[in-house]
Amino acid sequence: MLAASLDALAWFIGVVAAVVLRFEFEMTLQLWAATLALAAIAAVIQVVLGFQLAIYRGRHSYGSFEEVRTVALLVMFEALFLAVFVVLFGNYVGIPRGTMFLAFPFVLLTMFGVRYLARLVVDRTRKPGGQAKPALVVGAGQLGDNVVRSILTDPASPIVPVGLLDDDPAKKNLRLRGVPVIGRTADIADAARRTGATVLVIAIGRADGALLRDLTDRAEAAGMSVSVTPSLTNIGSGEESPSDLRDISIEDLIGRHPVDTNIELIAGYITGRRVIVTGAGGSIGSELCRQLSKFGPKELIMLDRDETGLQMAQIGTTGHGLLDTNEVVLADIREPETLREIFLDRRPEVVFHAAALKHLPMLEQYPDEAWKTNVLGTLNVVQAARAAGVSTFINISTDKAANPASVLGHSKRIAEKITAWAGEASGRRYLSVRFGNVIGSRGSMLPTFQALIESGGPLTVTHPDVTRYFMTIPEACQLVIQAGAVGRAGEVLILDMGEPVSILDVAKRMIAMSGKAIEIVFTGLRAGEKLHEELVGDSESLERPFHPKVSHTRADPISPERLDKAGWEARMYAEPRNNDTALITPLAVDLADAREARRAE
């Protein structure tokens, strides 16, 4: 009610000021009466319409941009209406015809001024308390502005911004909410010394892992702790807001790769279609399901042989894990007839094939399992998809398929070739997407390192120089879905994973973050492992015709008739291993002897 009273008073001030100034303070009693009557009419209209539009019933926060805009439109409408009234009838009571045009700016200035003063008072009462730690904010863009505003209006905030750092020369004199830009990112140590800041907040929406590592190293050298805003992926999905600060994690340092998602391209092949995801209970498959569900498929079918994994995937997409609907399908890709029945019954139009065995050392011991799942399982899914008339088929591959040296790599390379054959044979978009390690997947490096650290160590690293490519699961899945929109029949699409990361550096950072004294032990590279992984094979040529982070190449197709398990196993057991992926005929190697030799090592 106070806001309505103040706005009514603003109309009295505006109308009286307009008339008094027009007559240079020489007012008759009759003119005073007419002026006050006009002001009263304007005030009543303001209050009535304000309540009708819910301005005075909590529609907007008082003094917010949205409220100011609504009030301005209302005042403008009311001023025009009363101006017409005064032009027609004002002369009868001595009120000048231009009164409302002169009163309009007075009214707006009064209303805006009151709101501005209210905001100042509120902001002063909401500032962080005296115990808040001084902080530097890296990034003076929109995200930085949101962060500064959020901190300065939160009395419980543990930090208070004392300066901004930005490398844009145009922002060197900028102030956000009264907080000045005091230098560039190279000046972190100097800025911390001058301001006494003990916390660095990174508010750069498109910061990748390399930039975050650099800024973190500079901050730690200056004795500062580091906080970071959420990734663009999480902000864009609505899971987190820009002001949700948290301590920087190892996932941020090695896996952030901001992705530009073309919604229109994705919607063109997902929205309104029947989509099936194999391996839906796995780390990649479940995240694919969660992201795909947001694009409005006609039907999203989650297929896996892991019932618990399916339950988690269902929770991620529908919010429940009842497992009592036909959107979850319990099946094994090793069973071709079962797959064919499912595909012919459900008639999917788009397939994401994420089901696979992925642990390299395990498959070195059991190559037959790799053949059954990664090779024949892929063939089974491809054949079922072709029988059901699937128009888009996306096979999830791995960087280990580029110049493969392991059983895992060779099996996934054949899966790429099978997919390429199906694309060329059908003329439809059957393609593969290849990328490196994803952070946080079950049994992957980071959870393993974390478990070893929590148990007190030692932390095992295969080699001091070993490197790997990393990407977070959500960002990898975003690019997979994006790649599905731009891929062509028979292609292998390779995701840009940034620069490879030193595993030893990751281990050291995780130990430092834990605050524990953990020993690092080097165990040596395991059979089939490379010192440095590759995303592109020696014989592959690349192009990027559609997306800056998706490269296109082609795999040599291999038809089902040319698959030769005995020859493949012979090459896997050969000493040294024959890694020529063009070979499809058996080598002159005694398979039984080769197996025994490998197992004896």
State yes or no: pLDDT of 236 exceeds 70: no
Q: Where are the beta strands (DSSP E) in 258-364?
A: 274-278, 299-304, 328-330, 350-353
End-to-end CA distance of the chain: 85
Q: What does the alpha-carbon distance between residue 568 and residue 587 come to, in Å, rounded to a whole number?
A: 9
- Output the pLDDT for position 316: 93
- Output the pLDDT for position 90: 74
Q: At what angle do helices 407-426 and 565-573 cross, to 10 degrees?
A: 150
For the entire predicted model, the pTM comes to 0.76
Query: What stretch(es) of the chain map to CATH 3.40.50.720?
Result: 133-248, 263-557
- Output the pLDDT for position 594: 42
Handedness of CA 83, 87, 89, 93 (dihedral sign): positive
Handedness of CA 62, 66, 70, 72 (dihedral sign): positive
Q: What is the mean pLDDT of residues 71-83?
A: 91
| Residues β-bridged to residue 438 | 471
342 — phi, psi (to 5°)?
-60, -45
Q: What is the mean pLDDT of residues 289-313?
A: 95
| Residues β-bridged to residue 228 | 202, 246
SS3 113: helix
State yes or no: pLDDT of 112 exceeds 70: yes
Q: What does the alpha-carbon distance between residue 422 and residue 2 come to, in Å, rounded to a whole number?
A: 72
Give the pLDDT band of residue 504 (cuts 50, 70, 90): very high
Token representation of residue 141 = 């863009």
Which residues contact residue 44 at a Cβ distance below 8 angstroms, ignoring those fewer than 6 apart?
Answer: 8
Q: What does the alpha-carbon distance between residue 401 and residue 312 come to, in Å, rounded to a whole number?
A: 29
Q: Give, as one character, the DSSP assignment of residue 170.
A: G
3 — phi, psi (to 5°)?
-65, -40
Q: Read off the amino acid at residue 344.
A: L
- Output the pLDDT for position 87: 86
Least confident of 26-40, 230-244, 396-410: 230-244
- Output the pLDDT for position 135: 96
- Output the pLDDT for position 232: 63
334 — phi, psi (to 5°)?
-80, -10
Q: Order of strands, edge to edge, in the sheet holding 543-547?
A: 328-330, 299-304, 274-278, 350-353, 392-396, 429-434, 491-495, 550-554, 543-547
State yes or no: pLDDT of 363 exceeds 50: yes
Least confident of 124-133, 139-148, 488-497, 546-555: 124-133
Whether domain 133-248 has CATH 3.30.420.40: the reply is: no
Q: What does the alpha-carbon distance between residue 187 and residue 141 come to, in Å, rounded to a whole number?
A: 18
Q: What is the mean pLDDT of residues 182-196?
A: 95
Query: Which CATH code, of 3.40.50.720, 3.20.20.80, 3.30.60.50, 3.40.50.970, is assigned to 263-557?
Result: 3.40.50.720
State yes or no: pLDDT of 156 exceeds 90: no
In contact, 162 and 197? CB cutoff 8 Å: yes
Residues 540-596: tens digit of each pLDDT = 888 888 888 889 999 999 999 999 999 888 888 888 887 776 654 433 334 444 444
Give the pLDDT band of residue 43 (cuts 50, 70, 90): very high
- HEC profile for 485-528? HHCCCCEEEEECCCCCEEHHHHHHHHHHHHCCCCCEEECCCCCC
Q: Read off the amino acid at residue 169.
A: P
Rg of the chain taking only CA atoms, in angstroms: 33
- Output the pLDDT for position 209: 85
State yes or no: pLDDT of 498 exceeds 90: no
